[in-house]
């Protein structure tokens, strides 16, 4: 079964909600804040169907970022409360 994107899930759950996007630089400080907020939500029982974090993947992404080989691609997604729902490996690599 193909995994449905987070954006499609949001669109289906909230058909009257407009999905917006913008390009924003995510600094290590901002990345830490995003991860802390996501951890708070997870602590209260909602894991957002997250995959297990792969430290090898985080390291590969971080290396590519350090070497200037990282390109903006798939967006990092936040819910309407600003909680990270997609992009955990990329955000961890930024930290």
pTM over the 0.95 mark: no
Q: What is the pLDDT of residues 15-59, one digit of tens each?
A: 777 777 888 899 999 999 999 998 888 776 655 556 789 999 999
Contact (CB, 8 A) for 64 and 54: no
Residue ranges with strand state E in 1-95: 77-78, 84-86
Contact (CB, 8 A) for 6 and 69: no
In whole angstroms, give the CA distance from residue 76 to residue 73.
Answer: 9
Contact (CB, 8 A) for 35 and 91: yes
In whole angstroms, give the CA distance from residue 48 to residue 84.
Answer: 9
Report residue 93 as tokens. Answer: 């690599």
Q: What is the pLDDT of residues 63-78, one digit of tens each?
A: 999 999 998 888 898 8
């Amino acid at each position: 079964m193909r995994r449905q994107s987070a954006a499609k899930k949001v669109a289906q759950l909230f058909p009257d909600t407009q999905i917006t996007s913008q390009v924003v630089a995510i600094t290590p400080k901002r990345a830490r804040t995003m991860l802390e907020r996501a951890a708070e939500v997870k602590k209260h029982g909602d894991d957002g169907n997250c995959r297990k974090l792969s430290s090898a993947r985080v390291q590969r992404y971080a290396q590519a970022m350090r070497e200037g080989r990282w390109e903006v691609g798939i967006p990092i997604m936040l819910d309407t409360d600003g909680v990270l729902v997609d992009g955990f490996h990329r955000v961890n690599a930024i930290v």
